[in-house]
Chains A and B, each alone.
Chain A
Amino acid sequence: MISVIGVKKRFGGHEVLKGIDLEVRSSETMVVIGPSGSGKSTLLRCCNCLEVPEEGAVRIGDVTIVEEGVTVPEAQLNAVRAETGMVFQSFNLFPHMTTAENVMCAPMTVRKTPKAEARALALELLAKVGLADKADVYPSTLSGGQKQRAAIARALAMRPKVMLFDEPTSALDPELVGEVLQVMKALAAEGMTMMVVTHEMGFAREVADTVVVMADGRIVEQGPPARIFTDPQEERTRAFLRALVDGHLAQPAAT
């Protein structure tokens, strides 16, 4: 469903992705972990061409959206993006629209869905993420966890075939992380194809079909979570997991 083939990306002189190959099969969840600055966000953003890789190719479904630095025509790219939901660390909800309007906006703008139909869809999706009672308030009145669930509903409104999550819980207070992960687990259980950058190892163990470990623009190791977490082959994976555990132990308030 998502194929990344030999992808390289540089910012100025700095090569951030140094040749990435991976494949997310339909209905599978891939979790990407790795130290900060290793290129996880950039990789995810290459998967919907928010960043255009100079080398290699990215295929979503049966459309090759970028190959050797050349993207598909704008209209086709927009169509693929519409079916590739993205959830950001900082939510990026539209502050001038109510929660329901946030969800309705893309179907109405991109697909010309009639307003009543879009509203019905929005209410259905908001109910699904547990925000039925927040449809007509502005995002500023929502908690972080509610914002992120609204953002997920907004992405789902385009009936995506693929969902990309970039550290969806990293900006949340610890007690709000669970409610967002719950929604993501439900999505995975429904058979959504997902690529998730996260430091939530519990989620990775439970939901991931494949865990990819990145460091310094490369894939260090990938495999099923059971193997990556219990029997990592690479020293860099071990070092990263150790640092993560230490980090958690160093935060006594985290639950």
Chain B
Amino acid sequence: MTIDFGPVLEGFPRLLSGALVTVEVTVAAMLVSAVLGLAVGIVRLDPRRRVLYGAASSYVAFIRGTPLLVQLFILFFGLPQFGILLPATACGILGLGIYSGSYVSEVVRGAIQSIDPGQTEAARSLGMSRAQAMRKVVLPQAFRRMLPPLGNEAIALIKNSALVSLLTIDDVMREGQRIISTSFRALETYLAVALIYFVLTNLANQFLRFLERRMQVEGRR
């Protein structure tokens, strides 16, 4: 058995266009995840709002307790039974976002709870509403503490996005499989695909380091 990177190199433009799809799906899913995670994380701060809190907690428990692949299949193959026929890309983005959001919500909640309650009290004593205190005082401080764990979630999201290839989305994984189906060069192709994921996760890592450094300069404690 010889090693032959020829077919992969030949198909490399297709891998790159797949990588672009991977980036698009991941970035869009990050947005869904951030919005959902922030909302759910904040709702889960206060058990006294029973209905909201219950709904948010059930979401987190269910999503964390079931495989992402099953969740994606429910969206893609299950929902059409109810006449809800979302495009594959939408299913991929939503599925990944909903999944990641459950983890992000715990990061958000933990970071907010780690901020001294005296900060909120000072803000409220100045006449700020609950929402204003959260926005101006608590969240900016909590965000600094969220960054490292959020980085881990972002990287997990990039890697998990490979599963959307099973929803017929032409991401880097699926383009790789296409190359293999004609060339039968699995090892070489998967190595190239792995390399692309590795580059993406590394870029994300660098970007986060950059953000962390900037925040430290801005808000020296």
Contact = CB atoms under 8 A, between A and B. Distances in A.
A84 B220 CA distance: 30
22 contacts: A48-B125, A50-B121, A78-B128, A81-B125, A83-B127, A85-B126, A88-B121, A88-B122, A90-B118, A92-B121, A93-B122, A94-B123, A94-B137, A95-B219, A105-B136, A138-B219, A140-B220, A151-B122, A154-B122, A154-B126, A155-B126, A158-B126
Classify the interface of chain B: helix, strand, loop or mixed.
helix
B125 A85 contact: yes
A224 B75 CA distance: 74
Interface in A91-122: 92-96, 105-106, 109-110
A242 B88 CA distance: 79
A82 interface: yes
B220 A106 contact: no
Interface in B118-139: 118-119, 121-129, 132, 136-137
Contacts of B137: 94, 105
A78 B129 contact: yes
A105 B136 CA distance: 8
Interface size class of chain B, counting residues whose CB lies under 8 Å from the partner chain:
20 to 34
Contacts of A141: 220
A95 B136 CA distance: 12
Question: Which 7 residue pairs are nearest across A and B when measured between Cβ atoms?
Answer: A82-B127, A106-B126, A92-B122, A86-B125, A92-B118, A96-B219, A110-B127
Interface residues of A, number: 29
Contacts of B127: 78-79, 81-83, 106, 110, 158
B124 A50 contact: yes
B138 to A, nearest CB: 10
A110 to B, nearest CB: 5
Contact of B141 (A50, A84, A96, A105): A96
A140 B220 CA distance: 8
B116 interface: yes
A62 interface: no
A74 interface: yes
B70 to A, nearest CB: 41
B140 to A, nearest CB: 5
Contacts of A151: 122
B163 to A, nearest CB: 38
Interface in B93-146: 116, 118-119, 121-129, 132, 136-137, 140-141, 144
B140 A88 contact: no
B221 interface: yes
Given A82-B126, A151-B122, 5 more contacts: A81-B124, A94-B141, A95-B221, A96-B144, A154-B126
A153 B144 CA distance: 26
Nearest to A110: B127
B48 to A, nearest CB: 13
B125 to A, nearest CB: 4
Contacts of B221: 95, 138, 140
Given A50-B125, A81-B127, A94-B137, A109 B132 contact: yes
A96 to B, nearest CB: 4
Nearest to B136: A109
Contacts of B122: 86, 88, 92-94, 151, 154
A103 to B, nearest CB: 10
Q: Which of A90, A109, A138, A155 has the most CB of B within 10 A?
A: A109
A110 B132 contact: yes
A120 B116 CA distance: 29
Contacts of A90: 118
Contacts of B129: 74, 78
A106 B137 CA distance: 10
A12 B74 CA distance: 46
A155 B123 CA distance: 10
B124 to A, nearest CB: 7
A38 to B, nearest CB: 21
A84 B125 CA distance: 7
A72 B122 CA distance: 20
A42 to B, nearest CB: 13
A96 B140 contact: yes
Contacts of A94: 119, 122-123, 137, 141
Contacts of A79: 127
Contact of B128 (A84, A92, A93, A109): A109
A78 B130 CA distance: 10
